[in-house]
Structure 1
C-alpha cells in the first residue's frame, strides 16, 4: 500500500521541482551493507544523480568511496578482491613480525592483556590498523580534500562519542580516519580518536542518519536500510542473542522514526544474512539490485527531471611514488622520534607510495608498543606531509593460551606469559608452561639490540616417554622416560627480522631411565649426567606463514662442541660398556623452501643432515630418526614411514618432498615422500646412497584458530609397519 501511494504521490512532488536535488542515506549493517553496492549500480543505470551522500558504518565506507569518485562496479570489484575478515582481524604479515615473536610466540590461539596485575579483555577484537591502511590507500586520489563537502559528491558520516554516547557528525578532516571511526563496531574494532574525542561505530547513536540529511535541504531523500528486525521469542536462545536484542531496541526504534522522513525507502531482503556474512558478498549485492525494482517507475521519472546532470569522472587508484617532505609526529611520550622513524624506516626526503606507508606502519604495529597508530597524508609544497599520531601501549604483559595433542606428548595446555621492558626499553621475556600428560616449560629472556650484538638466556625442561632403540642388536625397543633440563646463555645479531646468527654456552642435565628394561621392574638409568657445551647457530626464516607456508625458505644450521661431562662410568652405554668422556662435536643443518604454483598447489622441499666429529663414547646423543613431530628436541629427527627413534647412529642424511593441494580455503591435502640414510659416517666415500631408507605419506590438514589439525597415514616399503598420525593445535 505504501509503495502504491509513493508511486502516485512522489511524481507530483518531482514535477514540482525544476532540478530536484537528491540525497542518499546508507545505513550501517556490517556485511549486509554490501547491498548498498547493488542499489548504487541500479541508481547509476537509471541515470539518478546523487547530490549528497550520508552514511553510518559500512554505509559510510560504501558511501565515502562513491562520493570520492569510485563507480559501483569499481566498488564491487574492490570488495570482491579483499579478504574482509583478514583486514578486520589485523593480520600482520609474518615478515613484519620480530624475530623473537616468530621464534617463540607463534603457538597460541588467544592472547589477553594484563594490566595492574589483572587479566583483562581488549577493547576490540582488532585495533583496526589494517582497516585504516586499506582506506588510506583506497582514498589516495582525494587525500587533498579535508572538507567532505568538496568531494565529487558532498558527503558526511556519523560516529558515536564513547564517553557521552552523543552522535558525532563527521564532515571535515581525514576521510579515511572518519570512515574508520564510523565503522568501529563495538567489540570488533577499537575506538578511534578524532579531534580529541574517542569515537566508535555511529550505529550506536544514529544508524540511519536521515535527519542529518534533511538538514542539508535536499528535495528528495532516498534511504537504503540494511538493518534487520528484532528477534522473535524462539530466536532468543543464547546470551549473545539476548544482548544483541537489547542493543538493537533503541537502534531500531530510532531508525523507524527515520524511515518516516524518507521519500523513497529501499529495504533489501537480506534477513538471512548477518553483519559478518563477508563470504556472501555476491549474494548480498544481488539482493541490493533486486530491491530497487519496485521503485523503477518513480526513479525513472526522477531521472528525467534531473536535466542538468554533472559529468561524473571516475577515479582509479594507481600505485605511484611521491616525496615525503615533512614528517610530524604526535602522541609519543616514552618512545623517541628516532625510535619510531627508525622502526618505520622513513625519513624526510624519502620517495614512497601509499602501499609502502602501509607496510611501514604495519612494521611499527608489529612491535606491539603502540595501542593505535593514526596517520594522514596531505599535499605540501614539494610532495606530501605525513602526520603520524600514536598512542603508546601501556599494556606490557600478555597471557596467551594454546592447546595441543600429538601421539608423543599427548595432551597439553599451554600458558604463555610475555612481557616487554622488564629491565630495559628493549628487553622481553617469554615463559611457556605446558600442563598435561607431560609437564614442560620453556623460558626465554632476550635483549634486542637489532643489528648490534643482542643477548639472551634461556631455560627449558622437557620430558616424555617413548620406545627408544639404543642399540640395533637389541631385538626390542625399550620404553624410556626421557627428561631434559637445558640452560643457555648466548649472544646474537639479527638482520631484517629474518636472520639470526649467534654463539653461546649450554648446560644440560639429561636423565634417561626405564622401568621395563629389567624383569623386576626396577629403574634402570641409562644416563643421568651434566653436559657443558659451546654452540653456534644460524637461523633464516622467510616463510610467509608459520603453518602451511606457501612461499619462502628456512635455514637452521647448528654446531655444538661437547666440552665436559660428569657422566659416571657405570651409567655409560649399557650396550657396549664404553668408559670415560671424550670431547667431540656435532654439526647439523636444515634447508627447506616452499613454492606455490597454479594457485592451489604448493611444493615444499627440504634437505637435512647431521654428523658427529670426533669419537663419541656413548649412544646418548646419537641421531634418532623416525616419527613425525615438529616439536622434537635434541637429536630426534622426524622421518615419515618409521616410528620414533627407529634409525639411530652418529650421522644422517635426509631429503623430503611434499606436494600440498588446497581444494578450498584453509583445507589441505598432502602427498609426502622422504628418503634418508643413517650410519656412523654417511659421507664415507662410495657409500653415500648405501642402504637408503624411504617413507611415504598422505594426509589432510585444516588451518584453524588453535593451529593446524592434521591426519596422516604413513608407510615404508622397507618394512610392514603402517602408522596413522594425528596432531591438533600449534606445535609446542
Structure 2
C-alpha cells in the first residue's frame, strides 16, 4: 500500500501515484468546489475563483484516473478547521460507506491472484558487537593513552553495547572533553569503532564577585590548566580575596591503571566567621576561624555521573575568640583523618539545573588530635555528611526541587570544629547546612537532619523566583535523632 498526498503543483496527484508503481488507485478528493454564480458576491471570492480554475481542471483530470473515487462532503470546512476534525472524519466515513459495494468488488477481484502474506519477524535487540579496530578523531592535546586507560575496551574482540556506553561515560567523567560520541562501520569481518571527541578548553581563567552579609564582599578568581604537569593532569587554583580570604590548589592526574584510577592532591586555607548562640537564639560568642587542609587521595570515575575517592587528610584549625574590643584568645586544633567520598551528578547544567539528581557524601574517620594544644579527645570517632537534591521538571520553566541533607557524629565528646551548623545560605564548609529563616550558624549540634521542598519558576529568561519550605531536626546523640522536624520555615 502506498499513500500519496498532494502539493502546490498537483493537489490531487493520481498520475504521480501511477508513475510510482501503483496498479490500483483509490482516490479521496477533498478539494472545495467552485463557487456558483450567486456565491460570487465579493472581490475576495472572485479572486479566489480565478485562482481555482486551473486546480479544478487538474483535479477533474486526476479523478478520471482513479479506479475508485471517494469524495466526502466538506461543506463549509477548510484547511483551518482543526477543531472540526471529528466531523470531517465522520463525513469521510459516510462517503466511503457509499462506495462500499465498489470496494468489496475490488477485494473479490483480487482473490484470484492468491496473495501470500508473510509475517515479518522483528530482529532481536543487538546485545554485542565484534570490534575489529578502534579509531580516534578530534584528539589534539589529550593523548590516546589517557583515552584507552579510561575507555577500558580492547582494540579487538566482542563487547556488549552497555560496556561501550559505560566507556563513553567514563571518558566524559575525566572532564577533558566537551563532547564524546562514536560511529560504527560494520563489515563482514566486524565493526570499525570510531570515537569522536571535542576537547575542553585546556587553559582558562574565571573571575566573579560575591557579597553576603556574613562574608561581605569577596573577589573570586579561578585558573585551570590541563596537561601542564604531566599527561592527563589538571591543575586548579582558586583565590578568594576579601575580609575573609581563602585559597586552594588542587592537582589531579588520570593514570593508565585500571579500573580508571587517578591521583589527587589538594592544599588550601579558608577563613570564615563562626558564631555560637544560646538555646534562645541569642548571640553568645564570636570566633574567627582559619581552616588549613591538605589531602592526598586516589579516585575513580566509575561513569560520567559517579565518582568515588579515598585518601588521607590533615587539618589545622586556628581559632580566635573575640572577648572584648581589640582583645582575643587564640587556640588551635590539628588532626589526621581518613575519608571516603562519593559523588553522583546527573544535573543537566551546573547553575539552576532543570532536571537531574545530585548526591554528595563523605565518611570520615577522625583520629586522635590536639586541641587547645592538649589532648582533648582521647578516642577517634566517625562522622558522616550527606547531601541530596533532585530536580523534577513540571514544565519547561517550572521545577520542583526536593532535598535532604544530614550530618552525624559518632562520639560523645566532640571538638567544636566538628559540630554541624545550621542557618544562613553559605556552604563554604561541608558541615554548614543552609536554612532559610535562621541566621548564619544559629544552631550547632553533633547531629543535624534537614530537608526542603522548593518550587522554582522562570517567568523571564534567566530570571528565577523560588518558593521554599525548610524543616530540620537536631540532637546531641544518635540515639534520639528526631524523625519529626523541630525547626520549620518557609519563604
**TM-score computed with the length of structure 1 as normaliser:** 0.43
- 1:693 pairs with one of 454, 473, 487: 487
d(CA) in 2 for partners of 1:442, 1:406: 21
Q: Which residues in structure 2 correspond to 1:635-714 (within 5 Å)? A: 635-681=431-477, 683-684=479-480, 688-689=483-484, 692-697=486-491
- In 2 relative to 1, CA 566–592 (structure 1 residues): closer, same or farther, beyond 3 Å? same
Q: Equivalent residue for 1:451?
A: 259
3-state SS, counterpart of residue 469 of structure 1: strand
Q: Which residues in structure 2 correspond to 1:462-473 (within 5 Å)? A: 462-465=270-273, 468-469=275-276, 472=279
Q: Which runs of 5+ in 2 are unaligned?
A: 1-6, 11-50, 55-124
Q: Which residues in structure 2 correspond to 1:195-594 (within 5 Å)? A: 329=136, 340=147, 367-368=175-176, 396-449=202-255, 451-465=259-273, 468-469=275-276, 472=279, 475-515=282-322, 517-518=323-324, 521-525=326-330, 527-568=331-372, 581-594=378-391
Task: Report how far residue 680 of structure 1 moved.
Answer: 0.3
- 1:632 pairs with one of 400, 425, 428: 428
d(CA) in 2 for partners of 1:435, 1:681: 38
Q: Greater Rg, structure 1 or structure 2? A: 2
Task: Report how far residue 694 of structure 1 moved.
Answer: 0.4
User: Please, which moves more after superposition, 647-656 or 558-567?
Assistant: 558-567
- In 2 relative to 1, CA 566–548 (structure 1 residues): closer, same or farther, beyond 3 Å? same
Deviations 1:235-292 (A, max 9, x none): xxxxxxxxxxxxxxxxxxxxxxxxxxxxxxxxxxxxxxxxxxxxxxxxxxxxxxxxxx
d(CA) in 1 for partners of 2:276, 2:225: 41
Q: Equivalent residue for 1:622?
A: 419
Task: Report how far residue 328 of structure 1 moved.
Answer: 5.0
Task: Report how far residue 496 of structure 1 moved.
Answer: 0.3
- Paired residue total: 363
Q: Is the 8 A contact 2:222 2:236 kept in 1?
A: yes
Q: Equivalent residue for 1:133?
A: none
- In 2 relative to 1, CA 521–540 (structure 1 residues): closer, same or farther, beyond 3 Å? same
**TM-score computed with the length of structure 2 as normaliser:** 0.62
Task: Report how far residue 582 of structure 1 moved.
Answer: 4.3
- In 2 relative to 1, CA 345–464 (structure 1 residues): closer, same or farther, beyond 3 Å? same
Task: Report how far residue 326 of structure 1 moved.
Answer: 6.7
Give 4+ residue runs of structure 1 displaced > 4 Å after superposition: 44-47, 321-352, 359-370, 372-393, 579-582
d(CA) in 1 for partners of 2:9, 2:269: 71
d(CA) in 2 for partners of 1:512, 1:454: 34
Higher helix fraction (1 or 2)? 1
Task: Report how far residue 388 of structure 1 moved.
Answer: 7.3
Deviations 1:637-693 (A, max 9, x none): 1111111111112111111111112224323221100111122026428x543x711
3-state SS, counterpart of residue 512 of structure 1: strand
3-state SS, counterpart of residue 523 of structure 1: strand
3-state SS, counterpart of residue 564 of structure 1: coil
- 1:613 pairs with one of 395, 410, 423: 410
Higher strand fraction (1 or 2)? 2
3-state SS, counterpart of residue 351 of structure 2: coil
Task: Report how far residue 441 of structure 1 moved.
Answer: 0.7
Task: Report how far residue 385 of structure 1 moved.
Answer: 6.9
d(CA) in 1 for partners of 2:244, 2:459: 36
3-state SS, counterpart of residue 438 of structure 1: coil
